[in-house]
Structure 1
Amino acid sequence: MPHPTRLAALLLVTCLSVFGHEDHPPGEEMADAATAWLQSLDGTQRQAAVYPLADEERENWHFVPKARNGVPLKEMTPAQRKLARDLIAAGLSQRGLLTTDAIIALEDVLFAMEGTARRDRGLYHFTIFGAPDRLGTWGWRIEGHHLSVNFLIVEGTRISATPMFFGSNPAEVRIAHAHKGRRALAAEEDLGRALMLSFNPEQRSTALISTRAPADIITGNDRQALLAAPSGLSYAQMNHAQQAQLRALTEVYAGRLRAELAAAELQKIADRGWNKVHFAWAGGLERGDAHYYRIHSPDFVIEYDNTQNGANHIHTTWRDFRGDFGRDLLKEHHLESHAQDKAKH
């Protein structure tokens, strides 16, 4: 279990990432940043970057090293890469942006370990869906190995940010390297284990769904996330301190987003009831043991898995059962537009 000082520091980082200040509405900032990036591209790049909003490519997501569509960092000029990073910064918090940087930097570590061409920090692709507009409906994505960030903006104000995948390979850099000792997803691991270790024997027995962790996150890269009813220990079965720890752990994931979006996600959970949320654990409890946990309600699931490469390879994801890729927001948008058209006639 993390030292109390370490745990307090992690909780402080979480709070700062969620309650930070942004100057302009997120829809406006993302539209402006996307427009600036698109305007910097040449014709060939722009053709590769832009897809219609309704194109199936928008739901073609993954988190393994594979060929992708869009414009990769390696094919951008330094100025274009800066504008692309501004787009990430428009959607994520400072901590989320720095974590993105850390995940991308791990490609250098993997190249040092493996020497294969697929380990390349330039293979992170940016894609725009539709036309960026401060008042419009459009989307954007950055995706590469261990990173998939998917945004849909409806009428400039309603925003979906799932599925969102952050991974770390290695979870801790242990080879002789400039990044030795770095842990890109330390809070996700440490706070999850600390919560499980805080439970009394009866609570722990309920939370433990298997002594063996699954080989990967269960929802995978399915376009529609499906998972059985929540299992494990419910929020209502935890004491006040444990409930605070579960909220803090959830805030780690929400806090990857800029403050307004993180607060909106957490408010949705509160509105639907924290008592509907369960925490489930599988695998060992010692650091170095293969392990898995999830935070699960009827509305969403956060999954964490660390089993590969000697339990030094983390996958994490946030899925919304109704709202991935903004499906719920688009449905509302289409219904409202249809109603307005009927009213005109």
Structure 2
Amino acid sequence: MVVEQTREAARNLLASLSPEQLARITAPFDTPDHQEWTYLPGDRPGLPLATLSAEQESHVHRLLELACSERGRTDARAILAAEVILRELPDSVPAAETGGWQGTTVGERYFVRVLGDPAGDGPWAWRLNGHHLALHVTVVDGAIAFTPQFFGSNPAEVRTGPYAGRRFLAAEQDLGFQLLHALEPGQREIAIVSPTAPDDILTRHDPVADASRLYQGLAHGELDAEQRQIFSLLLGQYIGRATGPIGLQTWQDITEHGLDRLHFAWAGATEPGQGHYYSITGPTFLAEYDNTQTDANHIHTVWRDLRNDWGTDLLAAHYAMGRHQVG
């Protein structure tokens, strides 16, 4: 159901575009830059959101609705709002918060792209990328892959001006500290792997996430029932950004490979206000959180699927069945 609805939303978006817009938004599925991405400022391949009409915007919103949960969409809109606040353009904040991108400066910094043909029977993908936001949705046969996925915010907390006190990605930080503080001294000795946090997520924006670069930390199997509950809530902050079927499949994959094989690692300060970092790693799942830049008021978070970023596993199965080549 979600796959066909996503296909329909993408077709409707493409049908609403001018030839010039189509030329910017589309590329072959196997384009050489298929796995290139970044969360840094700057232009991206694709069509800027600010160039879309109200009708065209509605199709992008539909794609987001099908890929992201309500909270995921709220977080994505908040990231755009934070970008406006960062650029000191308060008059544009209401548009960003309601998801309206028409003509706004923030919409010029985010790009939508479609790879492959949503109307065909081959693999295809759509992307929404910009500063501190990267959503990659890959559709292969009857399944969807949702990663790499990056959500970040600068500022993490607005400290001056009319929006003072507003926080972004707050639960990712609060639940991380809650889990750390719930650990017994012996557990904390294992979980805290360094007194200094890295200056960014360790997987950066590499096309393929290298989990060996991350710390191991404390195993889920070493947690008691209360600690496991907090751990689950923290894990859910990442998985819960996806729409129900995608999130459910991710939970099932993690469970099948063993929750006890997940690890929680912490680096840096043990109280807010100074640089801190954590990761959750397992056989199939990787999440990182870093808040070290801009006086520890600048959050980066990432979710990677170690088997299925970019739909890698789905594509392997697709070609193993002898299906047609991608054009």
Normalising by structure 2, what TM-score? 0.91
Residue in structure 2 matching 1:217, options 185, 198, 201: 201
Match of 1:280 in 2: 265
RMSD between aligned alpha carbons? Answer: 2.0
- State the alpha-carbon separation in 1 of the partners of residues 233 and 86 from structure 2: 31
Equivalent in 60, 79, 84 of residue 108 of structure 1:
84
- Per the alignment, residue 140 of structure 2 pairs with 154
* CA shift for structure 1 position 242: 0.8
Is the counterpart of residue 189 in structure 1 residue 165 in structure 2?
no
Partner of 1:7: none
Percent of paired sites with the same residue = 38
Secondary structure of 1:281's counterpart equals strand
User: Does the alignment pair 1:37 with 2:21?
Assistant: no
Does the Cα contact within 8 Å between 1:128 and 1:140 map onto a contact in 2? Answer: yes
Contact 2:191 2:265 in 1 (8 A): yes
Aligned AA (2:65):
A
Of 65, 76, 83, 1:89 maps to 65
Render the CA deviation track for 1:246-298: whole Å, top value 9, x for unaligned: 11111110010001110110110000000110000001111112100000013
Q: How far apart are 1:230 and its partner, in Å?
A: 5.7
Q: CA deviation at 1:30?
A: 1.2
Instruction: Report if the CA contact (8 A) 1:106-1:168 is conserved.
Output: yes
Give the secondary-structure state (helix, strand or coil) at the position aligned to 1:61: coil
- 1:325 equivalent in structure 2: 310
The aligned residue for residue 211 of structure 2 is 227
- Contact 2:28 2:116 (C-alpha < 8 Å) held by counterparts: yes
Correspondent of 1:315 among 288, 300, 307:
300
Matched residue of 1:32: which SS?
A: helix
Whole-angstrom distance in 1 between the partners of 2:10 and 2:219: 41
- Asked if 1:290 corresponds to 2:275, the answer is yes
What amino acid sits opposite 2:304 in the alignment?
Answer: R
Where 2:264 maps in the other structure, the secondary structure is strand
> Which amino acid in structure 2 is aligned with residue 219 of structure 1?
T
Match of 2:188 among 197, 200, 204: 204
Shift of 1:159: 1.2
Deviation at 1:321, TM superposition (A): 2.1
Q: Partner of 2:98 in structure 1?
A: none
Q: 1:91 & 1:28 partners in 2: Cα distance?
A: 12
Superposed, 1:125-274 pairs within 5 Å as 125-133=111-119, 136-155=122-141, 157-177=142-162, 179-228=163-212, 231-274=216-259
Shift of 1:123: 1.5
SS of the residue corresponding to residue 57 of structure 1 reads coil
The CA deviation string for residues 308-340 of structure 1, in whole angstroms up to 9 with x for no partner, is 0010000000112222111111111100126x9
Q: How far is the alpha carbon of 1:209 from its aligned partner?
A: 0.6
Q: Which letter does structure 2 place at the counterpart of 1:141?
A: R
C-alpha distance in 1 between matches for 2:172 and 2:136: 20
Match of 1:5 in 2: none
- Kept in 2, the 8 Å contact 1:28–1:134? The answer is no
> What is the CA deviation profile of residues 107-162 of structure 1, one whole-angstrom value per residue up to 9, with x for unaligned ones?
2111118xxxxx7343110000111148652111000000000011111x211111
Q: Which residue of 2 aligns with 1:75?
A: 51
Higher mean C-alpha deviation, range 128-137 or range 218-227: 128-137
- Contiguous gaps of at least 5 residues in structure 2: 90-104
Deviations 1:22-47 (A, max 9, x none): xxx22122111111111111000001
Deviation at 1:169, TM superposition (A): 0.6
Task: Give the partner amino acid of 1:224.
Answer: V
Counterpart AA for 2:259: W
What secondary structure, in the 3-state scheme, does the structure 1 residue paired with 2:230 have? Answer: helix
In the other structure, the counterpart of 1:51 is 27
Paired AA for residue 147 in structure 2: T
CA distance in structure 1 between the aligned counterparts of 2:11 and 2:310, rounded to whole angstroms: 21
Structure 1 CA distance, aligned partners of 2:255 and 2:215? 17
Provide the rounded CA distance (Å) in 2 between the counterparts of 1:328 and 1:230.
25
Aligned equivalents of 2:285, 2:123: Cα separation in 1: 23
> Structure 2: which amino acid aligns with 1:68?
R
Paired residues of 1:230 and 1:298 also in contact (CA < 8 A): no
